[in-house]
Amino acid sequence: MNRLVISGTGQVYKNLALEEALLRELEEGQCGLYLWVNDPSVILGNNQCAYLECNPGICRSRGIAVARRRSGGGAVYHDRGNLNFTFFYWPGRAGEE
């Protein structure tokens, strides 16, 4: 592995932005692992509607951030009790010794 990044913030918007930045700066032949923990938040997949997946008003009143990630998939709830990870690799690199 070329790079390990451990986030120092629980702010979901910063963590999602850092994830995107790490992906964009990945160079040929590189791979990496990004670890982070978010404060209470609901993270939506790219094509999901917040009003169908959660109640934004209740989230707001309880201090739960609602964010959207670039990738697809379902809505998930994050808090300080779960560790999130993203594995980055340049295509063609997986499985090499």
**Domains of the chain by range and CATH?**
3-89 (3.30.930.10)
pLDDT at 96: 56
Cβ neighbours, 10 Å, residue 12: 22
- Whole-angstrom Cα distance, residue 97 to residue 93? 9
Q: What is the pLDDT of residues 35-74, one digit of tens each?
A: 999 999 999 999 999 999 999 999 999 999 999 998 889 9
Could you tell me the pLDDT band of residue 1, with boundaries at 50, 70 and 90? low
Q: Are 75 and 42 in contact (CB under 8 A)?
A: yes
